[in-house]
Every structure is written in structure tokens, then in C-alpha cells.
Chain A
């Protein structure tokens, strides 16, 4: 159940964004453009650390950063 709720929220949120004028203007992105605000600043390092956890935890998926399979066991 929680998944259905979360996904519905996700969809609602996305659709509501359709009618909204961009509230952060392109010329106001100075802080967002700073490399320290990147979700995946170092893809190779991030991929490695995801692999470290994936091999030792039951959970997998939605790690963020570069998607796709890791071919790990």
C-alpha cells in the first residue's frame, strides 16, 4: 500500500508542476550550479560505494546516480 500512495504522490506532484511558471529563474541558479550541490559528483566512486552496500545488504535499487544494472552478485 505505501508504495501506491508514494507513487500517486509522485504523479500528482509531477502533474502539478505542469501548470507552474518556473519559480526559480535560470538566472537564479548560482547556488544550484555549484559542484557541491551535485547529487552524483563522482560517478565512479559513487558506483563503487553502491556496490559495497549492495553486496552486503538485502536492499537494492533506487541508489541514485547512474542507473542500470551493476552486474554484481
Chain B
């Protein structure tokens, strides 16, 4: 029995190490046209993605209940301030059905980039959001280029590098 237990443990550990040795890249490359959408923003104005053609656009899908989203929110604000004059637009798409929690959160954490509301999750579905947060980068020609699932400290450096690259194109 004892030998079997040790064997079982050994196999489990080896399998885990093998399964986890394939590390995920923080960023995935995408291609193809970014699907168009129109969403109401916090200011009440409708924002249409296709009208931002010519800018590098970063779309961040977030929720107030999502810890990593809250963690990166102030960092996104910094990125917005740094690049907004260089032809860069950051859109924060809130995915919550009930927008009041998000509005409350934004009273405490002030951001100046546009926050759009997607209470029916139509846009989240369109972009096949499979992690919270999800960040998509779109080039000046309206093509999807980079995808980030989730957020971990350090992702902001990848965002900056990719934004700079797309701005130079």
C-alpha cells in the first residue's frame, strides 16, 4: 500500500510538472478585421469602433467584481495619458449586466479614458472574451493584432511595447 501511494504521488507530480512546463505566452497574435460595435459610453455618447479607424485602439473588457481588472485599472489610465496624443484610443468595456457597481467603482478609481457599457454582453460575445480581463489591440487599419487573456503584473509592459510598435506602423 505504501509503495503504491508513493508511486501514485510520483506519477501525479511528474504529470503536473510536464503539463505545466508548457508556459503560456502573455500575449497572442491575432489577425483579421476587428468586428465593429457601437456602445453607449459613460458620458452618454455612443462610441462606434469604425469611427476610430486611423487610431491604434486598445479594448479592455473588465468588471468591477474582477480582482485583476481592478489591479490594472490605474495602470491603464497611465497608458492612456502617455499615448493619447499620439493617435491612440483606449476603450474600457464594462461587461456587467447591472452597471451600478461599475459606476460606483469608478467614483473611487478615477479614469479619464472612455468607459463603454455592454450590459447585454453582445460585444463581449462578438470578441469571444474567454478570460477576465481581456485586452485586444487593434492597428490603424482596423485589424486585430494582439490579445491578452487575464492580467498579471508586468502585462502593462507588453501593452506599451505593442502600442509603440503599432503606432510606428
Contact with B124, one of A22, A25, A33 (Cβ below 8 angstroms): A25
Asked if A4 is at the interface of the complex by the 8 Å CB criterion, the answer is no
Contact with A27, one of B63, B98, B101 (Cβ below 8 angstroms): B63
Smallest CB separation, A68 vs chain B (Å): 14
B65 touching A30, Cβ below 8 Å: yes
Asked if B13 is at the interface of the complex by the 8 Å CB criterion, the answer is no
Closest chain A residue, CB of each to CB of B132: A26
Docked complex Cα distance between A26 and B69 (Å): 12
Smallest CB separation, A30 vs chain B (Å): 5
- Of the four ranges (under 10, 10 to 19, 20 to 34, 35 or more), the interface on chain A belongs to under 10
What are 6 sample pairs from A and B whose C-beta atoms fall under 8 A apart? A22-B130, A25-B129, A27-B95, A30-B101, A33-B65, A34-B65
Contact with B121, one of A22, A28, A34 (Cβ below 8 angstroms): A28
Smallest CB separation, B8 vs chain A (Å): 16
Chain A residues within 8 Å of B124, by CB: 25, 27
B65 touching A26, Cβ below 8 Å: no
Chain B residues within 8 Å of A60, by CB: none
Chain B residues within 8 Å of A33, by CB: 63, 65-66
**B residues neighboring A (CB under 8 Å):** 61, 63, 65-66, 95-98, 101, 121, 124-125, 129-132, 134
Asked if A29 is at the interface of the complex by the 8 Å CB criterion, the answer is yes
**A residues neighboring B (CB under 8 Å):** 22, 25-30, 33-34
A30 touching B97, Cβ below 8 Å: yes
Chain A residues within 8 Å of B66, by CB: 29, 33
Chain B residues within 8 Å of A26, by CB: 129-132, 134
A27 touching B65, Cβ below 8 Å: no
Smallest CB separation, B121 vs chain A (Å): 6
Smallest CB separation, A32 vs chain B (Å): 9
Chain A residues within 8 Å of B95, by CB: 27-28
A25 touching B65, Cβ below 8 Å: no
Closest chain B residue, CB of each to CB of A34: B65
Q: Contacts A25-B121, A25-B124 hold; do A30 and B96 have CB atoms under 8 A apart?
A: yes
9 A-B pairs with the lowest CB-CB distances in the bound complex, closest first: A27-B95, A33-B65, A27-B124, A26-B132, A30-B65, A27-B129, A26-B131, A30-B96, A27-B121
